[in-house]
Structures are given as C-alpha cells and as structure tokens.
Amino acid sequence: MEYLNGVTTPRLLPWPTPEGKPCYLVTDDKGSRLSRLADDLEAVQLATGTDVLGLARQVLDDPRSPYAEVRYAGIRLAECLTDALRVAESRGGRLPVADTGDDEEYEGGHGQPVPEGRGEPRP
C-alpha cells in the first residue's frame, strides 16, 4: 500500500461488493494473500479482454454476422472494458505521487509541464 501523508491508501480491488459498489483493501502487506489474489485476477481480466477483443473483431469483420452474435460481442466487450478500466483506476491509485516542489509549473494533477505561451497541455 502506498502512503499519503502517513496514511495507508486503500486499494481498489478488481471485483465489486455484492451490492455492486467498489470494493477496497487496506493493508500494509503488498504480498498478502488477498493482494496476490487481486493481482492474479487483474491479470486474468486483462488477458480475457485481449481474447474477447480478438474474437469480437472476427465477428465484426464479417458483414454477414448475425445480429445476436454482434450484440453478444458488444456485451462481452463492455464487460471487459469495465474490468480494464477498474484495473487501470486501481493501478493508477497505487502509483507514487511525485513531489515536484514547484506546483505552479504543473497543470492540475496531470504531471505535464505547461509550455510557456502555449496554454493548457493536452490530457
């Protein structure tokens, strides 16, 4: 777990609660059983997304694919995208926060320097 001002930040887990809400883990042990389970599930979710994308492309590349197959592919892609976005959010939340020392030079949390005379950087 990363610390922010001496406080352990919760890790977003790759599965929701039974009510469908985000599920978090607070621990000081990155190698805990639950942390390893979450790491393994994230890897499975991303690999599944890659597989589903390949299969969906086959369906979408065939102009004669039945509506039911196209719809099924879209539903599976949406599920995989949801999982991938949750993994990205979780991993992004675990990145260390850089202390630049000069907050005026950087644009609101993007960590990209603002070029002089060029306005806002692209996200």
Could you report the per-residue pLDDT of 87-109, keeping only the tens digit for each?
Answer: 999 998 888 777 666 555 545 54
Both tokens of 95, joined, read 């990145």
* Alpha helix stretches (DSSP H) within 1-123: 33-61, 67-93
pTM of the model: 0.70
Residue, of 9 and 53, whose pLDDT is higher? 53
> What pLDDT shows up at residue 95?
82
Contact indicator for 105, 114 with CB cutoff of 8 Å: yes
Structural domain boundaries of the chain?
Answer: 3-92
The percentage of residues in the chain with a pLDDT greater than 70, rounded to a whole number, is 74
Residue, of 73 and 98, whose pLDDT is higher? 73
Question: Do the bridges between strand 7-8 and strand 22-25 make them parallel or antiparallel, or are there none, so unpaired?
Answer: unpaired
Query: Where does residue 61 rank: exposed (0-12), middle (13-18), buried (19+ CB within 10 A)?
Result: exposed
> What pLDDT shows up at residue 1?
47
Rg (CA), the chain: 20
Average pLDDT over residues 17-46: 93
> What pLDDT shows up at residue 27?
87
Q: Is the pLDDT of residue 56 over 70?
A: yes
Residue, of 61 and 111, whose pLDDT is higher? 61
Spatial CB neighbours of 13, under 8 Å, sequence gap ≥ 6: 22, 23, 24, 25, 34, 38, 90
Residue, of 8 and 47, whose pLDDT is higher? 47
